[in-house]
A = this chain, B = another copy of it.
């Protein structure tokens, strides 16, 4: 009966999806840091696909998560377009952004963004670097990217912009390809949640990977709304009090459960497609 294997594969795939959905929802019991890292790697793979689906990462950019087992380390894919990343592509990096087990694989040139941000910001559990297209004009015109709608509270009243000339000179490749450039970027980030990179893109951080992913998505959405509002008239922005209240809500993972569930379902549907 030739059709049988096909049917079994479908069943197996459905079971796997159901299982992974269940795993993601069962958070209540205490987990070991080993278990936590298994979960983090699973979330990191999904985060790669979500950011590809949402048009934040295309062939470029990357997303990482800090290790729970060893908080000086982090997980990041080998050099690969995020939309193609599988669990087997995830590598562990040490605090100097060196792979623990290189295995002869090509590495992201800008992995130092991640290592240096984790070093400078113990509160950060996840980092996204992207070429978010609507954000780039704000990186090169002196017009500050700022909270322009409810979901942009992490932008505050003007996101910092990193000018790499200070760290890399006047004729660099503009990229964060070593520790010193990573440290300079982390310094410019300071205590903010996003730093724009002139003519290049941005780096977003979060207290969890779900928050970091949502911020990366909403930075782009906020930039489009802000550009439209500026072209239309004189925008009224948020009061400091409103911004602070919304920022506090936005910091908590429960504020992003709804988008994460939606985007994950969409990513899993695409990943399971033939």
Q: Verify B7–A238 contact, CB threshold 8 A.
A: no
Chain B: minimal CB distance from A230 (Å): 7
Q: Which of A25-33, A80-88, A92-100, A182-190 contacts B (4 or more CB under 8 A)?
A: A80-88
Point out the residues of chain B lying under 8 angstroms from A238, CB to CB: 174, 199
Known A-B contacts A133-B225, A136-B225; A233 and B142 likewise in contact (beta carbons under 8 Å): yes
A48: shortest Cβ distance to chain B, in Å?
Answer: 12
Question: Are A59 and B3 CB-contacts (below 8 A) given A133-B221, A228-B227?
Answer: no
A138 to B229, CA, bound (A): 7
Q: Which of A37-45, A68-76, A113-121, A144-152 contacts B (4 or more CB under 8 A)?
A: A144-152
Are the CB atoms of A259 and B170 closer together than 8 Å?
Answer: no
Judge whether A58 and B3 touch: CB under 8 Å.
Answer: no
Q: How many residues of A contact B (CB 8 A)?
A: 77
Q: Does A22 contact B (CB under 8 A)?
A: no
Is A89 in the interface zone, CB < 8 Å from B? no
Closest partner residue, chain B, to A238 (CB atom): B199
B229→A137 contact, CB < 8 A: yes
Question: Quick one: which of B10, B137, B229 contacts A235, CB cutoff 8 A?
Answer: B137
The yes or no answer to A16 lying at the interface (CB within 8 A) is: no
| Complexed CA–CA distance, A273 and B169 (Å) | 49
Asked whether, in the complex, the Cβ of A227 is within 8 Å of the Cβ of B236, the reply is: no
Which 6 A-B pairs rank lowest in CB-CB distance, beginning with the nearest?
A: A171-B241, A141-B233, A59-B259, A81-B262, A137-B229, A3-B3
Given A170-B241, A273-B274, 16 further pairs, Cβ under 8 A: A1-B2, A2-B4, A3-B6, A6-B7, A131-B150, A133-B224, A138-B232, A140-B237, A141-B229, A141-B232, A170-B242, A171-B239, A171-B241, A171-B244, A174-B238, A227-B231
